[in-house]
Structure 1
Amino acid sequence: MNRLLDDYEKGKQFFLYTGRGPSGHTHIGHLVPWVFAKWLQDKFGAKMYFQLTDDEKFWTKKT
């Protein structure tokens, strides 16, 4: 985090990446990282990419 903040102070931009890889129903516990990512986006003016995917589970699923 220090490196990111140091770079930000030097005028460098960064982006945020978060998302959801569904393995069940979405619940209130999923909100914590999403709300934090949104706060960072608003605070630093960063772009945020939110991915909803099941591809990781497809490729790592044991058959």
Structure 2
Amino acid sequence: MHTHALTTAITLYENGTLTLTQAAKRAGRTPEAMEAALRAHGVALADEAPTATPARPDRPARAD
């Protein structure tokens, strides 16, 4: 089940705005559950990413 909070947290994590812990809190999940959700959505974890750049630099961050 997708929730608005989870979708927002994933987007903010993917853009580099939130850390894993911050994204987990925003989504109301444990860090372990957030990691699983990120992987399920095809988002590389920061320690798994080859560089420090966001996973989607072509997509601007949105605040809405």
TM-score (norm 2): 0.28
Instruction: Flag the structure with more relative contact order, 1 or 2, with Cα contacts below 8 A and sequence separation at least 6.
Output: 1
Q: Name which one, 1 or 2, has greater alpha-carbon Rg.
A: 1
- The structure whose residues are more often strand, as a share, is 1
